[in-house]
Chains A and B, each alone.
Chain A
Amino acid sequence: MPVLANTFLFVEPDDNYLNFGSVPMHQIVEANKQPGQDITELTGIDANPDKIRQILATKNPMVCSMIGHGSESVYTVQNLAPLLHAENPEELTLMKDRVVLLTSCLTATTLGPALIVAGATVYAGYKKEFWFYTGDSPGSSRAVQSPFIAEFQLIASLLRGKNTGEARADQLKKYDEEIAYWITGEGKNHADASELSRILELNKSISVFLGEASVSPSPQAGVLGAQINPAITFGVASIPIAYMIYKALA
């Protein structure tokens, strides 16, 4: 069965410091989701391999965006439970035809390429350590969210109807904006601005995108959000109303 457009799975574990990433992921999904999209967020203890497999089988999402701890060949979810092994074809096939976004360390070296070989249309992840700042509590400040604001721009743009290539370009641009915020922007005199700018530079330098740049997981959102002039939309929507008024008058 082909994967379903407009269907997204977000995996948001919250243990082992992962809530620093899952809190902003949830906020970004909420801020960017569009009408008509089928969105599943598996959070906390629900972010486990069984539930993820169940959603993949029943909803068949085109996009799987997941945060978790990783190594060269293994990606894990809640309780460090492994979900994907590079050497396990059955697990890799779970991601066939999907856009797979793994916010984790190191998976771009082995697991990411293995996913592409197994048929994933896109893999995005990191070839070395993905760093983040834990100086404040999760979600409580721009400082703790900043590395994830840049990282999750990719999903924000996909939700808003961009294709994978455009979303990747937006992500890299957002990295530059966040870096500038801490070096020369409003955040430059924050007590930990030095570390934050470096964390963002490090993450950007090891960010990897593999696969197709022309996949549009949510094409309708792009049409509604960017291509149709609002005046035309209003005009088209007014036709049935005008007809009813005409009929009533007649």
Chain B
Amino acid sequence: MSKELVARWFNKISEAEKDLPLLLSDGYAYTPRMTYTEVMNESALGTKLQALIESGRFGTSTLEEQAIAKVRLQQILASKPDKPMFATLSNKVFTARELMQEIESGTELGSQWVTNEIFHMTNIVRVR
């Protein structure tokens, strides 16, 4: 994959996704924006991150994936207004803060979001 293809990948994903941690390398997490900068600068780190995008992978161990997924959800939900935004067809309604509490407490509902977030990260890495 060339630099241009990484640029196309970066431009295709939403602004909101560009500043969420996504790729793991040597124990550090990188956002798409950091990745784009490193790849464009042709740094050694950029080469590693580019290889991850090429292979459609983003991380290493399951524990790390779960930790990153939680950070991403926290980052998304932290900026939301304190009003009911999420509901289920089991008659439950949540504000972003209440949903974050479910995620941090590891309830079944919260785990559903964490598991999905790992799947979502895969979707983002594989955007072409």
Contact = CB atoms under 8 A, between A and B. Distances in A.
Interface of A: 16-18, 20-21, 67-71, 80, 103-106, 126, 128-135, 179, 182-184, 188-189, 192-195, 197-199, 201-202, 205
B127 A183 contact: yes
Residue among B16, B89, B123 having the largest count of chain A Cβ atoms under 10 Å: B89
A184 B90 contact: no
25 contacts: A17-B91, A69-B90, A69-B91, A104-B90, A106-B90, A129-B89, A129-B112, A132-B87, A133-B86, A134-B84, A134-B85, A134-B87, A182-B14, A183-B17, A183-B127, A188-B14, A188-B15, A189-B16, A195-B77, A198-B113, A198-B120, A199-B86, A201-B120, A201-B123, A205-B116
Given A188-B13, A198-B113, A104 B120 contact: no
Contacts, number: 97
Interface residues of B, number: 30
A202 B113 contact: yes
A129 B124 CA distance: 23
Contact of A129 (B16, B84, B109): B109
Chain A: interface secondary structure? mixed
Nearest to A184: B12
